Amino acid sequence: YTGCAAQLFFFAFFMSAELSLLTIMCYDRYVSICKPLHYGTLLGSRACAHMAAAAWASGFLFSLLHTVNTFSLPMCHGNVLGQFFCEIPQILKLSCAKTFLRELGLLAVCACLGLGCFVFIVFSYVQIFRAVLRIPSEQGRHKAFSTCLPHLAVVTLFISTSFFTYLKPPSMSSASLDLSVSVLYSVVPPALNPLIYSLRNQELKAASSEGPLKWLLFHRPVPPDPGRLH
């Protein structure tokens, strides 16, 4: 029982922190492509530290809330979960109390966090793609897209499978489907992170040494110097 509660706490903590960090990484790409001249001001070391601390703090509060809320219910329907880890919907099925309001509260909190991050990511990528499509150089567009697409793929997989897991109707629920979807959002995105970010680290460093800001500024129209107009 204690181990299950600890597992649920850490699972919710890391999943919510993962979503927050993916949102922050999206903001990093938005600033570097759409506002390169303000990058040092908007994303300095202090701003990055504050955003990282906010991501971990929100994850801690989110997981603490759901862990306490879930394990305050009486469990009387056995101790066998239809899942390979302690997941909130599966634990609620073991409760003999009325869990409708708790499930509603769980969905409301998850929707606020998930939809807020989702809307921000969609808005940021709309602005990013608009800026990239205005770059006249095909090589510049390719570099920008190659930087953004891996992150976008992980975000899409993580959010779509998470939303499907918690918002699908009960009529679609089955043991095999729940197991498959849980693997997609709990195992695959973290496993892809080293492949996408660590192995491409040298490539990204090489691109930044040229850098993406250099080619972006080179192809962006430069306003005339007011002093030369006189």
DSSP state at residue 170? G
Highest mean pLDDT among 130-134, 166-170, 217-221: 130-134
Question: What's residue 56's pLDDT?
Answer: 92
Q: What's the confidence (pLDDT) of residue 224?
A: 41
Question: pLDDT tens for residues 198-209?
Answer: 555 555 455 544
pLDDT tens digits, 10-28? 988 988 888 888 898 889 8
Query: Which domains, from first to last, does the chain contain?
Result: 2-221 (1.20.1070.10)
For the cut 60, the answer to whether the pLDDT of residue 177 exceeds it is yes
Q: What is the pLDDT of residue 99?
A: 65
Is residue 190 within 8 A of residue 18, CB to CB? The reply is: yes
Read off φ and ψ for residue 75, nearest 5 degrees: -105, 120
Using CA atoms, how far residue 125 sits from 48, 73, 217, in Å, is 20, 41, 19
pLDDT tens readout for residues 28-74? 888 888 888 888 888 888 888 899 899 999 889 888 888 888 888 77
Q: Tell me how far CA of residue 183 lies from CA of 16, 76, 191, in angstroms.
A: 16, 27, 11
Instruction: For the chain, give the mean pLDDT.
Output: 76
Cβ atoms 155, 56 nearer than 8 A: no
Beta partners for 75? 95
pTM beyond 0.75: no
pLDDT single digits (tens) 139-150: 778 877 777 887
Q: Tell me: pLDDT of 197 over 70.
A: no
Distance, in Å, from the CA atom of 132 to the CA atom of 149, rounded to the nearest integer, reads: 12
Cα–Cα distance for residue pair 180/55, rounded to 1 Å = 27
Surface-to-core class of residue 13, CB atoms within 10 Å of its CB (0-12 exposed, 13-18 middle, 19+ buried):
buried
Indicate the pLDDT class of residue 226, thresholds 50, 70 and 90.
Answer: very low
Query: What's the mean pLDDT in 206-229?
Result: 44
- State how far Cα 230 lies from the chain centre: 50
Q: What's the pLDDT score for residue 210?
A: 46
* C-alpha span between 26 and 20 (Å, rounded): 10
What is the pLDDT, as a whole number, of residue 33?
84
Q: Is the pLDDT of residue 130 over 70?
A: yes
Can you tell me which residue has the tokens 């239809």? 82
Q: Give the residue among 15, 42, 18, 14 at the shortest CA–CA distance from 28.
A: 42
In the predicted structure, residue 223 carries a pLDDT above the cut 50: no
